[in-house]
Every structure is written in structure tokens, then in C-alpha cells.
Amino acid sequence: MEQSKLKLIISRYLVLIIFLILIPHSSDASSLAYNLKGQFILEVEAKGEAWYVDNDNTVRHYLPNDYQALLVLRDLSIGMTNENLAKIPIAVDNRFVRFDSDSDGLDDRVELAIASNPRDRDSDGDGYDDAEEIKHHFNILGPGRGKINLAFRDRFLGEIVIQVESHGELWYIHPNNGLRYLIADLEDLNNIIKYLALGISSKDINHIALSSLIKVDAIKNIKVLLGDKQRLYYYLDDVELGSFPVSAGKASTPTPKGNYRIVNKHPKAWSSYGLWMPFWLGLANGRFGFHELPIWPNGYREGEDHLGVPVSHGCIRLGIGPAEYLYNWADIGTAVEIK
């Protein structure tokens, strides 16, 4: 009797000790995850793995260094109308600018997403540059203040938002500075991780629960036949949906054969050969890609009669119509086989 009473006391005591040890720890862990929600984090002691801490349930999502990271973020994103997006201030930060045709400090792709003019520093002609107006919350498209609403913005700090009324652009709303950053492709995401992610130790990261969200491979895929075929086929799994004639690289500048993925998109990219490439879909780090028949700066457009004949510098040219169709159909990450 005495012995069992003692056992009971000891076990209660043990429970209390365990309780005292565990509680502070688990509350530390959960407050760590809570403090990091909506942040990109980088495991600095390992191979620099990147994670995004979910804003809602504080689990961490692995972001592999490929297109799957974008699919994960797209899955987590919240749809938003243009009217509501306009309430959230845009980051004006040179480190994130990759295409800036009018040198106003705003990326062409940001300008297209917000309907300012990517080829005019001052879209509304009021004497103030687009970037200056954005920085000070003025209306870039007309007189007066913009539609910024910080109370609305604060409800979305740390979220990934998808612009549903445009081309499905992703925006990241940084939880610290409250500014939104465009994530149109992997390079944008890499820049966000490079400049905005917080470093974390391997010990600390283990306190943040792991997400089970794993993306399966995309089922869209594209095949291009070179040689005298000069034709592009596009598929869902192995079901052919259609095909278009193309003009790939000429003998002296051949299109490289192999397996690639679409790495970036641009509605009108500029080529180092001195010509415009509408509906650009970049392959292999953007070294070459698909685009519409090019336009020279004097407005001359290469003829449709080039289709079916390999005449390009290595890119795969598509006709007017098919290029825009493929641009809208294909995703960043879509697999491309060239043979």
C-alpha cells in the first residue's frame, strides 16, 4: 500500500518534471514558427535549402531549386482582383528589375501587370516618373493619390497572392516591409530568396513542422522535331493536342537538341541580335527559346514563309497566332523535348 502510494507520487513528480521541461520548449518552438510565418527561410548550415513558412498553419514548404517551387507557391496562393491588388504597395527595388525598357526602375513585367506603359517613364505624362509615383503612393495612370489601403494590405502580410484578372502572376507580400514583389518565374523567386530570406540554423528549422505538400510532375509537354520536319507538337501526357510549323536554327546556328523545361516567359523580349521576340518562352536558363516571328526595330516583321525552314539564330520561331497560343498554354516548368 505504502509502496504503491510512493510510486504514484514519484510518477506524478515525473510527469510534472516532464511537463516543466517540455512546455517551455514547445512554446519556444511554436513561437519560432509563428514569428517566421510568411517568410522565406534558408537553412544556412546545410546546402542552403530554401523553405516558405505557411502563413496559415506555420508548416514549412520545401522549395526545390526548380519549377516545382513555383507550383508549390501557386498552390498556396490566394486569388485577388486587380482592384484589391491596387491597395497593396509595390516594391521599387533595382535588385529585382530584370527587364526595364524605359529605365524608369520598374520591371517591364510589373508594368504590364499594373497596366502602366513599359516604354514610357511617365505613363500619365504628369511630369512624375512611374516609379516615383509608386514609391509615394500616387496614381501612375492619372491625377491624385493611388488606391493604397494599408489596413487592407495588413491582412495579407506574408501571403502569396495570384493576380486572377491578368496572366496569373504571383506576388509575394513581404511581412516586414509590406511591399509586394512579382514572382513571374524561377529567377524572380531566386532573387526573393537571395535578398529577402532569413537564415536559419539546422537546429531551429527542426522546430518548424514539415509540410506534406509535394507537387507531382506537370502533365503538359512539348516536342519539337528539327531537320526537314520543323514542327512543334504539344501534349497532355502522351495525348497530342495539336501542332504548329516552326522555324528553328539554321545550319550555322543550330537549335540544341535535348530535354529542357520552360524557365521564363516574356510577352515581348529583346534579343541581343537586335530584334524583338514577341511571346518569348525561355529554355535552358533563357539562352534560347520559343517566340513569334521576330520584329526588327524598323517595324519589319519576318515573313510567314520562313516557317518550315530553319533560318533562326537557334531559337524556335512560331507564326502569328500559334506563338501567342503556346505562350498562354504552356507553363513555366513545362517539359520540352527537342530532337
332 alpha carbon, distance to own chain's centre: 9
Query: Binders of Ca ion among 292-311, rule CB under 5 A?
Result: none
Binding flag, residue 102, Ca ion (CB under 5 A): yes
* Amino acid letter, 276: W
Copy the grid coordinates of residue 216: 507531382
Report 115-144 residues binding Ca ion (CB under 5 A).
122, 124, 126, 128, 130, 133
Tell which positions 226-255 bind Ca ion, by CB under 5 A.
Answer: none
Sequence-distant (≥ 6) Cβ neighbours of residue 190 within 8 angstroms: 65
Q: Which residues pair with 40 in a beta bridge?
A: 52
Q: How far apart are CA 117 and CA 133, in angstroms?
A: 13
**Per rule CB under 5 A, is residue 329 in the interface with Ca ion?**
no
- Site pattern 184..223 for Ca ion (x: CB under 5 A): ----------------------------------------
Write out the binding residues for Ca ion, residues 42-101 only, by CB under 5 A: 100
Number of neighbouring beta carbons within 10 Å of residue 24: 9
Q: Which is nearer to Ca ion, 134 or 224 (CB)?
A: 134
Complex with Ca ion: residue 126 or 204, whichever CB lies closer: 126
Q: How far is the CB of 100 from Ca ion (least distance, A)?
A: 4
Burial (CB count <10 Å: 0-12, 13-18, 19+), residue 208: buried
Q: Quick check: 106 binds Ca ion (CB under 5 A)? A: yes
Spatial neighbors of 48 by CB under 8 A, at least 6 apart, are 42
CB of 114 to Ca ion, least distance (A): 10
Catalog residues that contact Ca ion under the rule CB under 5 A.
100, 102, 104, 106, 122, 124, 126, 128, 130, 133
